[in-house]
Every structure is written in structure tokens, then in C-alpha cells.
Amino acid sequence: PEAIANAQRFPRVSLRFGPLTIRFQPARPEWHVVLLERLVPFRVPDSEPVDCDLECHFGEPAAFRDAPVEGQGEPWELRIRADGVEQMCSYAVRQDGIRELVEAVELGPELDRGKLVQRPMLEIPDGLLVSSPFDELVACRVLARMGALVLHACSVEVDGEALVFMGHSGAGKSTVAAICERMGAIVLSDDRTIVTMVEGRVVAHGTPWHGSYRRASPRAAVVAAVFLLEQAPETEATKLSDVEAYAETFVRLIQPTTVTRDIRAGADVLARVIERTPFGRLRFRPEEAALRTAEAFVRHAKQLDATAVVP
């Protein structure tokens, strides 16, 4: 209720997540799009070109008869019809344990347009709420088609460059984000980071899909290094081999992995990211030395790169 009370209303909304812009357009002029505070910084002008255009409706969403290809029994499910139309469904669990479908979006085969149906909410009867985790699910699906990676990782900007710290829940992403912020870094995200290739450079983009530290920014920065977090009695950073980097990163992708061409696109981008970026394992204690050690790792990697002999 508090989050909704502080939300903002718009006739329509375009949101940018990394390279992706999604427009939420109510089907009727008397309806509005309601944005929670965490999403407002990601709003861009309505004049911006969009990659995915969603027509938004109130009503009772109905799931396709096709069996889910991902997420079966989870709070979300992905279905794909024979004609290539995809449907992402979001569920809520009642007090009696019954799952109810509260929101569904159908996306055409190219994922560039679709129809969103949302059950009305008592708190905002004429407002279509853009809420988590549904905005993240749809964005991650389309980003996969675009060849962008979404990592279970926090990221910070230090002196104009991004450091990415990946890990499963409990690995210490929010802890590292808090340490870095205290030392002057800008937190792009404390739990989800979009990674893209831009003109041959690896770029990290902040997202609003945050974890326990609750920091998010639409900023982007060229990646200086990616680290796999591991809490330990002492702080040290060691290099990951390309094979280790690929395996550890692939399992931390927050994206559906059903459509073959999208999996191949992601795999290709990941290989290029690893080719161009130092990857390390950061064993750390929750203290300032964690960031200092990461920065030292980056400096050493740059020195090696500068002195490398190209055949």
C-alpha cells in the first residue's frame, strides 16, 4: 500500500532498460499507467522510438492451453503457441494457497509488440500498475532476443568504469554494493545487471530490479572487470579461466532459455564478453578491502593487456 501511495500516474509510459525501450499504452484514454518509485528514473520521453509496444487492458487474463515451457508452478510461466506467439503469465498466491492468474502479456513472434491484460486492483481501479516481477520478466525475455545478457549481479561505477559482481542469492552482492557506495561508487544495481556489447566494448547497465540493498540507476558504464563473489575469512582476487568464466556466468543469466536462436545469440555475446573482459574470483570479507582488491585486480589486468604482444 505504501509503495502504491507514492506511485506516479501517466497517460502512457516508455521505460528504458539498457538497450531496450518498452511502451505501456492503455487501450482507453480514461485509463492510466501507474509507476512505482523505483521505475520512475527509467522513464524516457514518449517521443523515443520503442522496441516493444504493449497495449494494456483491464480484464481477467486467461492462460494459453499450451503447457508452460518455463516456470511451471512458479510465480510466472512462459507459454509458446504453435504460431510463435508467446505468453508470460504472473500469479499471486491467496491466503488459502490457491494460485491466481493476475497478469498476462502476449507477444508476437518478433517480440516487438503485444497485449497486456491485468486484473483491476482495488487501490487503483483505473490504473494499470507496472510492477515487479512482471516488468522484469517481460524485459528479460525481449532482451534475450536482442542479444543482451541479464546477470544475477550487482554493479557499481567507479571513476567512470563499471565493476560487476555476480553471485547467487546470499553471495554478498548487496553487501559489496553497500561497501562500494560508502567509498564513493555509484550503484547501478544491487541484484540485476544488463550487459551488452556496444561498438566492441562491454557495457553494464543498471536496472530497477534490485535486491535487499534497494539501489538502482539507469546509468551505464564500460565494464572494467567481472567478479564471482565468494565470502571468505580473507580478501583476495584471483583470475578465472575462460572456461570457468563461461560456466559461472551462464548459470547466472536471468533469462528464459527456451528458444534456440535466442540461446545461441546469448552464448555468442557471452563468449565475446569473456574475450574482452577480465574475470576474477573475489573472496572477501565485508570491509573496504573488497573494493580495493577488485581495483588492484583491474589495474593488474590493464598492465598485462598493455604489455601483451600481439602476433
Please list the residues that pair with 26 across neighbouring strands: 56
pLDDT at 308: 55
Mean pLDDT, the chain, whole residue set: 91
pLDDT in tens, 35-92: 988 899 999 999 999 999 999 999 999 999 999 998 888 888 999 999 999 999 999 8
Q: How confident is the model at residue 139 (pLDDT cuts 50, 70, 90)?
A: very high
Question: What per-residue confidence (pLDDT) applies to 310?
Answer: 47
Q: Which residue has the cell 564500460?
A: 222
Q: Are 187 and 154 in contact (CB under 8 A)?
A: yes
Q: Is 128 exposed, middle or buried (0-12, 13-18, 19+ CB in 10 A)?
A: buried
Q: Which of 78, 16, 65, 22 shows the shortest CA–CA distance to 41?
A: 16
The tally of CA atoms less than 13 A away on the side-chain side of residue 48 is 20
**Grid cell for residue 176:** 559489496
Q: Nearest Cα to 182, choosing from 286, 39, 300? A: 286
